[in-house]
Amino acid sequence: MTFDVSAVRALYPALADGHAYLDGAAGTQVPVTVIDAIAGAYRAGIGNLDGAFAASRRSDVIVAQARAAVADLVGGTADGVVFGPSATALAYRMSEALSRQWTTDDEIVVSRLDHDSNIRPWIQAAGRVGALVRWAEIDLATGELPAKQYADLVGPRTRLVAVTAASNAIGTRPDVAAIAGYAHAVGALCYVDGVHATPHVPVDIAALGADFYATSAYKWSGPHVAAVVADPELLETVWPDKLAPSSNAVPWRFERGTLPFADLAGVTAAVDHLAGLAAVGAGDGPGAGGMVAGPTRRERVLASMAAVEAHEAALFARLLDGLAEFGDVTLYGKAARRAPTAFFNIGARDPGAVAGHLASLGVNVWNGDNYAYELCQVLGLQSDGAVRAGIVHYNDASDVDRLLAGVAELAVR
Ligand SMILES: Cc1ncc(COP(=O)(O)O)c(C=O)c1O
């Protein structure tokens, strides 16, 4: 399997500014194919759905293609893909709808590892109906979210377990399949935040046991659109607040107002971009031309994301080895399975000042709690948080080395 990072980088116009983009965990740059797909939709002319004219039909096709693309990315079915403006907005939408079925006898489980968007909407929904909230805790020494604690956290009253597939701060990838197993054993649903995991690993929502899987396209080279993927049969059992004249059908009834059609064309282009990554720079991609049917897009996504995972793992090892050379650098979390995201502080230095120094060197990193609010509380970092350097597939060794050189100007060996 080839992964030619310089050929991949050449597809991203924004990278030409020479910055080391290690801020991908907060949003990636987009390849030219995504830019062209969005511009192309507007250029061709789009209309609202279900109209009698061609521009409307183009939007119908764009939506259908985007649902199929996201389904291929995560292993779902197109009819189970619900689009929304952000994973946060969708978590609120789903929590409002699901909690209509909860009572004061019910319980939900959230985790201290999660981004606040997979915690607060559930707590607020539970609060409105008087359901009890239980907390899964992280092991502070390792940053792991031990799955075994769920044996005590879930029970016959549990209706929902919300958990992340990867921490956007310390990278921890919990054993979601095991956690979902505990939920399903008592008839509860598992809502998985896949926003941070999706750009880094092959995703199979069935293998994860995710009843709902949230993902945001802007974290994987697409536009600012998010999706929740679920079994359409499950969605049939859930009723959100909706307008009287809007469709009652699944998945449409979960989508409020008019969809962002041009951006959805970009979503499809982003999935196609990911599906082609392993073949970029390797001449014709698998299945190109010829009479023999090539691999499906789902198969190409899985192969590409495996190549992405290996590429990112090598860069992450380089980053961790480099940071380990500094005596006053504190790295938070050392989970066995991690997304390639480093969360660290340099002595008592203000993380914002460190990020500012790195920015002056052309290195883009984030600082703060990055909305891993509960995690930062238990780590004692509060809102100052730490510095976050996140690797994505278009990063290369020079990005990592420039970060380490910048850290070396502030840290002691
Ligand atoms: C793990 C995780 N979950 C959820 C979100 C929120 O996503 P959105 O911006 O689409 O609401 C983020 C964004 O940073 C994230 O990293």
**Probe target for ligand 1 pocket from 28, 93, 168, with the most ligand atoms within 8 Å of CB:** 168
pLDDT of residue 283: 52
List helix spans (H) across 75-138: 87-98, 120-129
Single out the residue of 286, 146, 301, 150 nearest to residue 215, CA to CA: 301
| pTM greater than 0.85 | yes
Question: What are the residue ranges in the chain where pLDDT is below 50?
Answer: 284-290
pLDDT of residue 284: 47
- Ligand 1 center–CA 69 separation, angstroms: 20
Atom of ligand 1 lying closest to residue 196 CA: 1
**Probe target for ligand 1 pocket from 94, 167, 196, with the most ligand atoms within 8 Å of CB:** 196
pLDDT tens profile 323-355 = 999 999 999 999 999 999 999 999 999 999 999
- Ligand 1 center–CA 358 separation, angstroms: 24
pLDDT of residue 286: 45
pLDDT of residue 158: 98
- Ligand 1 center–CA 245 separation, angstroms: 31
- Ligand 1 center–CA 89 separation, angstroms: 10
Atom of ligand 1 lying closest to residue 89 CA: 11
Single out the residue of 146, 83, 89 nearest to residue 118, CA to CA: 89
> At CA 17, angle to CA 407 and CA 196, rounded to 5?
65
pLDDT of residue 293: 76
Atom of ligand 1 lying closest to residue 91 CA: 11
Region of 289 please: left (phi>0), alpha (psi -120 to 50) or beta.
left
The dihedral of CA 101, 102, 108, 114: what is its sign?
positive
Within 8 A by CB and 6+ apart from 396, the residues are: 5, 6, 9, 315
**What is the identity of the amino acid at 384?**
D
Ligand 1 cavity residues, CB under 6 Å: 26, 86-88, 115, 117, 164, 168, 193, 195-196, 216, 226
- Ligand 1 center–CA 288 separation, angstroms: 35
pLDDT of residue 142: 98
* CA-nearest residue, atom 7 of ligand 1: 87
pLDDT of residue 285: 47
pLDDT of residue 3: 87
